Amino acid sequence: MAVIELTGIKRYYSFGEVTVKALDGVDVTIDRTEFVAIMGASGSGKSTLMNIIGCLDVPTAGTYVLDGMDTSGATDDGLADIRNKKIGFVFQGFNLLQKTTALENVELPLLYDRAGGGKDAMKKAKEALERVGLGERLHHIPNQLSGGQQQRVAIARALVTDPAIIIADEPTGNLDTQMSNGIMSLFKELNNAGITIVMVTHEEDIALWARRKIVLRDGRVIREELRPAAPREEV
Amino acid sequence: MNASTLVRLSLRSILRNRMRSLLTTLGIIIGVCSVIVMVAVGEGSQASIRDNISSMGTNLIMIMPPRGQNAANRLVIEDVEKIRKEGVHVGAASGVVRSAQAVVGGIGNWPTTVYGVEPDYLRIKEWTTGAGDFFTERDVNLRAKKAVIGMTVAKQLFPDDDPVGKRFRIANTPFEIVGVLESKGSNAMGSDQDDIVMVPLSTAISRLRRSRYLQSIEISAASEDRMDDAQAEVEDILREAHRLSPEAENDFSVMNQAQIIEMASSVAKTLTMLLGAIAGVSLLVGGIGIMNIMLVSVTERTREIGIRLSVGARRRDILRQFLTESVVLSLSGGLIGILLAVGLSHLLESAFGLRAIISPFFILLSAGFAAAVGIFFGYYPAHKASAMNPIDALRAD
């Protein structure tokens, strides 16, 4: 069943006379429990696509149905609520609140949950951190954690609201190979447990962890590759 | 996100930058503190004036020469007699003349103020003699050279003896001391009320003042609720005594205690307002300081705002967060300012003898004003924060 349905997505930026077509008619469908890598050179539109999937940006044209809900016409507040409930972000630069403990960082999305999901915020945050293997580091602040650990905290923060998808933007871009492998196998593990993951990357070997690869160029999808059994799945 | 979470979060981010937060609130602290202290000192001096005038007597009505440049003083001792005879609402009345004199006797001399009064004066002032007696109506009629002296004069001239029965000289005229006044101590303005000599009004007029006109007539109404009646009545009596035609203006001025207080404290009131306003400007400057720092803080925390937006904060949440921070900042500055002001007022009272009155209402008002400053000057930075584009904010470093 499709969790993301993008139809004819266009995103134009106009700078006075000049119009840049960051996305120029993208159709992508992603099913539940998929692990998709979006690839492309810089300027290919992959970041724009990620922003639209993540409801940080809205398309100029086209429809985006997320988890059975059409997002077009959603207000700012509506988009904020979608980000809160249905989407978990993992960024290249971790984007954790500094001088704030791992536990509090993970609690953050729950504090903005208007449906009362923030009730046992502490308990949920703790569980999420245990799930990413940081049960022992609850009260450490980002400065006291390694890059890999910081990214795990970010993943825990993405998981804590039980979202429909996790969007990872170059999640290993700031990490060395060993840490990268750790993070990618965590993603794999989460995906195996049924979590849908959309990852943007430009590194081929990172993209190999995904089951499907979508390649963009100049704002269009130029290639899709399906990999029934990814070579590294056994790692 | 509920209110307590908001306050907790904002406290956390304020405490994260202790030094900066303190410096930011310093403007508010100083502003609130100076407003409160200035107004408290102003209120205190007004209260001192009020007490001072209240201690001048009970239900007091004062008749004085007309105000104005070419208005002649026509108050005479006969006016007082007429008031005393005809005034049904009048409890007591006395003409008063004053002159500064050096009195000589006992062990030396002493500069003091000599009052020419009538026996009623003691009642008006609610004063009593401690030793001896006051002079009588008869003494006034006979222009007797009798005097009643205050405790300070008694101590200066007769430190070891009982002054009653002793003689001393005022302006080279020998007087007999018939009584010593009960000590009243200093009045609210700090002047010594016991540094006084009282002699019969008629004697003072003929011997000391050499003018038949009185400086004032002091009247005590029969009771507090008859003040207005007494005032109107006295006015009528004096107009009749001075044979004023109905259209002529009064050739005297009448004031009751409330009016005297009003007049005397109006300067202090104006001063209070002026000082309060100047201090208010510093509060305003403090508010601008908060805005300045909040703007810096918003720019500095762009990334944080981006993170919050990405995990589902609505714009309103961001607005509230920064607004709460500035209100918490200014309100805690206000509270510190209040505490400081209370301390400073006590210090002024104990170290400089200044009277300072801090009313609870004013404390609430300044706390409210501090919070309002926080909202007013915090709104623009908070709005700026909430209007950020999440994508740009996340990319910021």
* Predicted local distance difference test score (pLDDT) of residue A229: 56
In a domain, A65, yes or no: no
In a domain, A193, yes or no: yes
Q: Which residues 8-27 in chain B show a CB within 8 A of chain A?
A: 16
The pLDDT tens digits for A104-118 are 999 999 989 887 766
Using 50, 70 and 90 to split pLDDT, how confident is the model at A235?
Answer: very low
Q: What's the rounded mean pLDDT across residues A161-177?
A: 92
The rounded average pLDDT for each run of 10 residues, N- to C-terminus, in chain B (397 residues) is 81 86 90 90 85 77 81 85 89 91 88 93 86 89 92 90 90 92 77 90 87 89 86 90 85 84 83 87 88 91 94 93 92 92 92 86 88 91 94 87
* Predicted local distance difference test score (pLDDT) of residue B7: 87
In a domain, A129, yes or no: yes
pLDDT at A6 over 80: yes
Instruction: Check if the beta carbon of residue A27 is closer than 8 Å to that of residue A5.
Output: no
Task: Tell me the residue range of the domain where A86 lies.
Answer: 35-44+75-226
Cβ <8 Å between A95 and B394: yes
Chain B within 8 Å of A85 (Cβ-Cβ)? yes
In a domain, A17, yes or no: no
Q: What's the rounded mean pLDDT across residues A177-201?
A: 93
Q: How far is A54 from chain B (nearest CA, A)?
A: 8
* Predicted local distance difference test score (pLDDT) of residue A228: 66
Using 50, 70 and 90 to split pLDDT, how confident is the model at A234?
Answer: very low
* Predicted local distance difference test score (pLDDT) of residue A96: 94
* Predicted local distance difference test score (pLDDT) of residue A109: 93
* Predicted local distance difference test score (pLDDT) of residue A118: 62
- Identify which of B1, B304, B390 has the shortest CB distance to residue A97: B304
Chain A within 8 Å of B384 (Cβ-Cβ)? no
In a domain, A87, yes or no: yes
* Predicted local distance difference test score (pLDDT) of residue B14: 86
- List the domain boundaries for chain B: 3-51+263-395, 66-251
* Predicted local distance difference test score (pLDDT) of residue A23: 94
Chain A within 8 Å of B310 (Cβ-Cβ)? yes
Chain A within 8 Å of B210 (Cβ-Cβ)? no
Q: What CATH number has the domain bearing residue A87? A: 3.40.50.300
When comparing pLDDT for A230 and B206, which is higher? B206
> Nearest residue on chain A to B4, judged by CA atoms?
A111
pLDDT at A231 over 60: no
Q: Which residues of B touch A57 (CB under 8 A)?
A: 391
The number of domains in chain A is 1
Q: How far is B305 from chain A (nearest CA, A)?
A: 10
In a domain, A148, yes or no: yes
Q: What's the rounded mean pLDDT across residues A186-206?
A: 93
The span from the CA of B294 to the CA of B307, in Å, is 19
Q: How far is A118 from chain B (nearest CA, A)?
A: 9
Q: How far is B31 from chain A (nearest CA, A)?
A: 32
Q: What's the rounded mean pLDDT across residues A152-169?
A: 94
- Identify which of A57, A95, A109 has the shortest CB distance to residue B312: A109
Instruction: Check if the beta carbon of residue A129 is closer than 8 Å to that of residue A103.
Output: yes
* Predicted local distance difference test score (pLDDT) of residue B382: 95
Which of B6, B303, B310, B388 to mutate against chain A (most A CBs within 10 Å)? B310
* Predicted local distance difference test score (pLDDT) of residue B207: 86
In a domain, A53, yes or no: no
